[in-house]
Each structure stands twice: as C-alpha cells, then as structure tokens.
Amino acid sequence: MAQKTIRGNEKLATQIKSRRGEMGLTIEEAASRAGVGTKTWCRYEAGESIRRDKCKGICKALNWHSFPNQEGEKNEKISIQEYKNHIAWSEFLEIEFGAEAAMSFAVGSDILYDHIEEDMEALSSLPAGTHIGQLSISWLNDSLPEQFMMHYDYEFLYRMKCSLCEMRMRAKSDLPLTAHCVMEELLIYLCNEEASALIELNGGICGIKDSDAVDSKEWVFDLFDDMDIISFLYSNIYLNSDHPYHFSHWADQQFYTN
C-alpha cells in the first residue's frame, strides 16, 4: 500500500532549505542524516511531495521536534478501516490485541520492507561482507542492535526480508503471529516502531480519541510475554555467544515451540 504524502509546496521547500542552511549542512550531509539520497533531498527543496514515513528522517536531519504545519495541508489521521484489506492484516492480532495492533503490523511491515530493500540495493554493488554501518545512507543502521553491526550484510538482510515476507503471509492466512525466534521478535518490534512514528506524524488514528488510545508498545510485549528484546538487545549489556539473544541464535526456534 502506497504511503500517504505531504503535498509539496514552495513554503515547505523554503523551510527545509533555510533550516539546512542555518545548520550549515550541505545537501549531501542533510540527505545522509535523513537516510535518503541526495536527489531525493533536492526534490524536497524543489517543492515536490514527501512521503509521510520519510518525515521522521527529515526531522532528525534538521533537529526539528515535529514537521512544520502547512497551510491548507490537512493532517489526516491514519484510518484503521483503510488497512482492513491490507495484505498483511492479521486477524490473529486483531482478535488478541485489537485492531490497532493489526494495523501497526500491516503498515509497519510496509515501511520496514522498503528500508530492507533500500539497504540491500546499496549493498549489492559493494564487496561481499560490507555491512550497513559502512553505507553512507542506511535506514536500518539506527534501528538494529548496535552490538552486532558487523553482521548486517547483504545475506543477513536477505534472510531478514524472507522472514518478514513469511510473517506477512502468516498474517494474510489468519495464522497466529507468534514469534518463535529472536529474528521474528525483532521484526515485529521494528514494524511497530515504524508504525508508531507514522501514526504520530499523522496525528493519531482516525476514530480513536487520545484518551482511549492504548500504549502502542504494550501489545508487542504482551505478544512476547516479556521485554527481553529491550533488556538484551537495546541496552548496554554485552551478550556472549551462548546467550539466547546473541546474533548467532537469532534464527533458532526458541520460543513457544511446544
């Protein structure tokens, strides 16, 4: 499903260009910070439309807390109903954790798939063994656990993409979206992180009041039945090779295998 866009206009283009100038950044530097190509950044400064999921990177590059509001640009909230027929809509998640969880996996898996494809394309023209930390632009670089950066090469990303596609097929087939290995936990976690950022940029979910909204991360940890992915992969704990969350065990079927 195509991501919604912010309609390009001269005012927004000027704001982006002026802010870049204030920070003393070249187009190449700003694009690298945002995780996009220089040609894409040039299109932003020329007033062309911007995909909503790219706004997070622009804000990061320009040290904006939020994207500037544009006159005449409606901040359309995400519609759950719009995603009901999505290829990755999971009835299992909807029944067990609510429609917000099902929508988060669906939209988040779209964005994550694009990020994986973009990094694979960049790595495909480089020597074997090159990892995403060596790329000038990588959306996954800041998302994956830091300890194992050297392992995130083309082969790993291909496995990651295949695992994500398999999970999307399970969702489409109404099968339980239970994570049986660290790789699957990581994919679900990252899908929800991407979806949460997009929902925030769009001002929330249509039909749900802020007071009624649930914590966007709670369903993920309820699904996992723990917060081990945060405790072990996103904290300053060094993992030895025998630890179940060490990179060498990410594909091992460890959870809910009875």
Q: How many CB atoms lie within 10 A of CB 209?
A: 8
Average the pLDDT over 160-189 and give the result: 96
Q: How far apart are CA 212 and CA 98, in angstroms?
A: 13
The answer to whether position 67 is within a domain reads: no
Q: Cα separation of 21 and 162, whole Å? A: 41
Q: Are 216 and 193 in contact (CB under 8 A)?
A: no
Q: Give Cα 211 to chain centroid, integer Å.
A: 25
Lowest model confidence (mean pLDDT) among 109-118, 145-154, 219-228: 109-118
Are 92 and 27 part of one and the same domain?
A: no
Instruction: Kindly report, residue by residue over 18-53, the tens digit of the pLDDT.
Output: 999 999 999 999 988 888 888 889 989 998 888 777
Residues 27 and 107 in one domain: no
Same domain, residue pair 118 and 195 = yes
Query: Which sign does the torsion angle of CA 13, 16, 22, 27 carry?
Result: negative
Is this model's pTM higher than 0.85 or not? Answer: no
Is the torsion defined by CA of 75, 47, 123, 234 positive or negative? negative
- 91 near 237, Cβ under 8 Å? no
Number of domains in the chain: 2
- Asked whether the beta carbons of 116 and 157 are under 8 A apart, the reply is yes
Residue 22: give its domain's CATH number.
Answer: 1.10.260.40
Smallest CA-to-CA distance from 156 within 197, 123, 200 is with: 123
Residues 50 and 169 placed together within one structural domain of the fold: no
Asked whether the predicted pLDDT for residue 143 surpasses 80, the reply is: yes
DSSP class of residue 35 equals: T
Per the domain annotation, does 257 fall within a domain?
no
Residue 246 has pLDDT above 70, yes or no: yes
Q: Print the domain residue range for 40.
A: 5-62
Asked whether the predicted pLDDT for residue 140 surpasses 80, the reply is: yes
